[in-house]
Chains A and B, each alone.
Chain A
């Protein structure tokens, strides 16, 4: 069974989306927290959280949740674009 060019294009786009999301994941999971010490010297106004602490306790978590809903939508759009999505 040869892979059709449509399937290949679908997979290329899926792969690109995968790397994009892994990059964002790495940013919020790790890169931000490498800078926790300088970030802690910034205090969020009104709420009074040190920013470095806030990112690890809430900021990154919110980013993960939002990312997952966005990913589900975008991957579905890719599947529809190439006609490989499931019927509703």
Chain B
């Protein structure tokens, strides 16, 4: 608030440790209280609602308490978030519904190959700290397009940067709102569409009134909920089975048991070499090229995503920005190095207690999920013992025990079902739901703010109305936030088919559009405006072209753009007969559906389209280099500014009107 003095501000910072310590204690007491309620017989459904509504209420209270009418508070939280807390907020900002619920499931299905995502979504922070983040902090921007505009000659560069930002962030935020809908509908039995709009309300109370300031302090609260929720079930499981409460150490034994069981299943005819993916064997799903290409695109994409970079604008100093990146990765690491443990424990449970078991003695935890259609046995929802027996009897020559090929599981179930596999009370399942919700909400908040800030600060204030008074700037920012949020929720409620792939695409698009210009802008004084603009357009354009053509216009790609079929790691072509596929009546249709025989199955150099940044970013670097050298070198004044960015001491380069 405008009247708040800086003395009150520093008191606030000093008391952070006590406040969040108190909050964490309160949260744990709340979990224990619910456990007590469960013990006296309160039904599960009520417990689930209490969990979700209590946590949402806490976020809302923080969001309302930290409302602000100051521009610098709204955009960069007043630049006084300490490194440690900013690291926690970044952790929550970073870890989405996909990380919380989906990652372990992906590792369950893919084994070693899934680790490309674990590596890719952690290693990028090295690039953030070494190449980009601290320099942008010194520059003093409110948004990433701010830097592009200043360094590369004004509003054209700004406009392109806003376009890149909106393209990659909007699809990503849609996926998060979709995630809140899934979690709420699964745990509370709400209708999916209603759940999406409830999630939307949860997101808005955190970000609407206080912008970055409110999002920062709620994200820290959300991080605490999500990490407690993620680690609790697996720590208990590890203690029960192996006597050591550190699952990251004990799951090696589980992997050894899985590998032994895989051999046994093959010998007993419970699995065939064709449908068994050995858990530790690399390059079974992705070719080595695609494994490393995805890994690189996720890493470089991390260092290019505006909602992550802008978190480092909020630290008090350049020094703290660097420390903050380290803390961010530490807090992210806590979750990511536990995800493979979830996958291993679940797989061992499935392989030993479902596969090869007599149909009548299947463990009951899975019927809850079978009932929702998330686990299928013999092609039917595994809702009860009788349903499974009936479904398998219908298959001619079925041996009467579940074989690997009979068993289909939705990847979301891995994390969600672990409390039940471990035989834990329902209160732990509710905790996991609250954690998943926190992960989705916090990421959605960060993304929404990135989009709305780019539109209000860059497009409205910098491009349309540079004389707008503070009150109107903040009003515009809030209205835009609301509009973007509703648009994203509406898109999510239509359940678009590509929703999960889109998160991967966002990284590649950010990489191709932003990375070359950001790095060259800081590390090469000779980079010119024309060069950077050409490079951004070329890199982003090529990446987008490859994505759109391989996914939606594959027939066009094959006919006019020299695309050929992709190959599986075993060397088999994915499109077996290209001539026949092209001759099919709908081959040249535009916007083909996912089920189309060519969709996502053609390309160049056998490169999957998730990794399209690998084509765009090198082109971007090349174009910036060549075009810059063809033009006149940047003015001495601009070169002096670049020198200023490189030195932590001194004032920020960009001084914003903050009154």
Contacts and interface: CB of A to CB of B under 8 A. Distances in A.
B336 interface: yes
B322 A64 contact: no
Given A53-B280, A56-B115, A57-B115, A85 B337 contact: no
Tell me the interface secondary structure of chain A in the complex: helix
Contacts of B184: none
Top 7 closest pairs, chain A to chain B, by CB = A68-B326, A49-B252, A72-B322, A1-B640, A56-B115, A47-B252, A84-B647
B118 A57 contact: yes
Nearest to B330: A65
Nearest to A87: B649
Contacts of A22: 126, 130
A79 B648 contact: yes
B319 A86 contact: yes
B340 A18 contact: no
Interface string B21-56: 000000000000000000000000000000000000
B646 A71 contact: no
Interface in B612-659: 636-637, 640, 643, 646-649
B112 A71 contact: no
A71 B292 contact: no
A28 B333 CA distance: 15
A69 B83 CA distance: 12
B126 A53 contact: no
Tell me the interface secondary structure of chain B in the complex: helix
Interface string B124-154: 0111011100100000000000000000000
B297 to A, nearest CB: 12
Interface in B67-111: none
B649 A84 contact: yes
A37 B636 CA distance: 53
A79 B280 CA distance: 44
Interface residues on A, range: 35 or more
Interface string A16-54: 001001100100111001001100100110011110111
A29 B319 contact: no
A9 interface: no
B648 A85 contact: yes
A22 B124 CA distance: 11
Contact of B126 (A33, A56, A64): A64
Interface in B363-422: none
Contacts of B134: 75
A37 B282 CA distance: 7
A13 to B, nearest CB: 12
Given A1-B640, A48-B252, A48-B253, A65 B329 contact: yes
B318 interface: yes
Given A44-B252, A54-B252, A57-B118, A29 B130 contact: no
A44 B126 CA distance: 27
11 contacts: A3-B640, A25-B126, A29-B123, A47-B253, A50-B280, A53-B112, A53-B115, A61-B119, A71-B126, A75-B322, A84-B648
Contact of B295 (A14, A29, A85): A29
Given A48-B252, A58-B337, A86 B648 contact: yes
A72 B84 CA distance: 13
Contacts of A60: 119, 122-123
B325 interface: yes
B319 A85 contact: yes
A76 B441 CA distance: 35
A82 B123 CA distance: 29
Interface centre among A3, A62, A65, A71 (most CB of B within 10 A): A65
A25 to B, nearest CB: 4
Contact of A40 (B126, B280, B296, B336): B280
B336 A61 contact: yes
B636 A1 contact: yes
Contacts of B330: 65
B256 interface: yes
Given A7-B647, A29-B295, A58-B248, A68 B325 contact: yes
Contacts of A57: 115, 118, 337, 340
A77 B319 CA distance: 10
A30 B326 CA distance: 20
A60 B649 CA distance: 33
Nearest to B126: A25
Nearest to A22: B130
B44 to A, nearest CB: 34
B326 A48 contact: no
B114 to A, nearest CB: 9
Contacts of A14: 646
A23 to B, nearest CB: 11
Contacts of B123: 25, 28-29, 60, 64
Given A53-B280, A61-B333, A64-B125, 4 more contacts: A18-B130, A30-B295, A48-B256, A60-B122
Contact of A7 (B126, B337, B643): B643
Contact of B282 (A48, A52, A58, A72): A52
A65 B325 CA distance: 9
Nearest to A28: B123
B283 to A, nearest CB: 8
A28 B340 CA distance: 18
A83 B126 CA distance: 25
Given A14-B646, A56-B115, A76 B340 contact: no
Interface centre among A28, A36, A50, A61 (most CB of B within 10 A): A61
B60 to A, nearest CB: 33
A34 B219 CA distance: 37
A65 B253 CA distance: 25
Contacts of B252: 44, 47-49, 54
A8 B213 CA distance: 37
Nearest to B299: A29
A56 B129 contact: no
A56 B640 contact: no
B126 A68 contact: yes
Contact of A50 (B255, B299, B646, B647): B255
Interface string B288-305: 000010011001000000
B648 A68 contact: no
B429 interface: no
Contacts of B333: 61-62, 64-65
B568 interface: no
A25 B292 CA distance: 14
A86 B317 contact: yes
B16 interface: no
Interface centre among A14, A18, A25, A62 (most CB of B within 10 A): A25
